[in-house]
């Protein structure tokens, strides 16, 4: 693979995901978020959560959500196989550039949130007692929203193209040890 240590100080992203993995991630994340959000909206306004009969949209959303959840688990396994160990290596302590630390922290936080999401999802499906369900559902969805938000920071989608270009043009802008020649 191309993640040779000598590339670690390069201003470009050092851990590009293969395009197919990026697509799997984006698609599953979008499906999970949309079906989760629509379910919340319908359930608590005109559905079972508002004292009405369960709305057909609730059922449809959870059907799709359940399918997407399996795809989500596949996506996590896919990342566990290559991206996470590679990311762990390139963000090791020898390379203390601030943005690399951000990647490490947000990456680990996302993994923890993923564990919480999977556990609460499992509980929701198999044994959440009726009176725990709403709280557990909100915890589950809240972890989902937090993970999505962290993903934007982690994948550096919030950085404008301008900022990225400036970063490339002035690699010594920050007096970071990793941009100095060794
Ligand atoms: C659920 C967990 C994770 C997800 C969903 C995730 C997702 C991503 C995505 C979408 C990118 C952008 C790749 C691209 O531009 O092609 C990325 C980059 C990266 N990730 Fe992760 N990642 C996760 C966990 C981790 C962990 C645990 C680490 C390290 C400890 C890590 C380190 C990195 C690094 C160093 C980059 C390169 C960013 C850059 O140079 O701009 N990731 N990740
Ligand atoms: C890999 C990620 C995810 C997995 C494995 C997962 C799994 C599950 C499972 C198994 C259920 C129970 C389905 C049922 O009772 O029929 C569920 C429900 C739900 N999920 Fe997810 N989910 C994930 C991500 C998300 C995300 C990102 C959101 C964000 C909105 C979300 C929101 C919800 C909501 C609102 C419910 C209904 C909760 C309730 O019944 O009270 N999920 N999820």
| Residues making up the chain, counted from first to last | 182
Q: Whose CA is nearest to atom 26 of ligand 2?
A: 144
User: Please, which residues have CB within 8 angstroms of residue 136's CB and are 6 or more apart in sequence?
Assistant: 120, 123, 124, 128
Rg of the chain over CA atoms, in angstroms? 20
User: Please, which residues have CB within 8 angstroms of residue 74's CB and are 6 or more apart in sequence?
Assistant: 24, 28
pLDDT tier at 81, thresholds 50, 70, 90: very high
**C-alpha to C-alpha distance for 142 and 82, rounded to whole angstroms:** 27
The rounded Å distance from CA 90 to ligand 2 centre is: 32
pLDDT tens track for 35-54: 999 999 999 999 999 999 99
- Predicted structure pTM score: 0.84
**Which comes out higher in pLDDT, residue 122 or 8?**
122
Pocket of ligand 1 contains residue 116 by CB under 6 Å: no
pLDDT tens track for 1-32: 444 444 444 455 678 899 999 999 999 999 99
**C-alpha to C-alpha distance for 27 and 72, rounded to whole angstroms:** 9
Cα angle 111, 95, 145; round to 5: 25
- Its sign, for the CA torsion 133, 109, 32, 66, is negative
The rounded Å distance from CA 110 to ligand 2 centre is: 16
């Amino acid at each position: 693979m191309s993640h040779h240590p000598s590339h670690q100080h390069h201003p470009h992203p050092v851990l590009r995901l293969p395009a197919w993995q990026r697509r799997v991630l984006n698609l599953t994340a979008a499906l999970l978020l949309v079906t989760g959000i629509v379910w919340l909206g319908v359930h608590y306004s005109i559905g079972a959560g508002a004292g009405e009969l369960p709305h057909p949209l609730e059922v449809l959303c959870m059907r799709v959500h359940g399918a997407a959840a399996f795809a989500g688990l596949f996506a996590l396994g896919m990342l566990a196989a290559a991206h996470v160990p590679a990311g762990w290596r390139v963000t090791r302590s020898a390379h203390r550039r601030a943005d690399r630390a951000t990647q490490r922290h947000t990456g680990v936080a996302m993994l923890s949130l993923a564990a919480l999401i999977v556990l609460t999802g499992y509980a929701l499906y198999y044994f959440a007692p009726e009176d725990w369900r709403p709280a557990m559902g909100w915890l589950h969805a809240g972890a989902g929203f937090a993970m999505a938000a962290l993903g934007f920071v982690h994948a550096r989608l919030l950085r404008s193209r301008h900022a990225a270009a400036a970063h490339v043009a002035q690699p010594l802008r920050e007096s970071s040890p990793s941009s100095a020649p060794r």
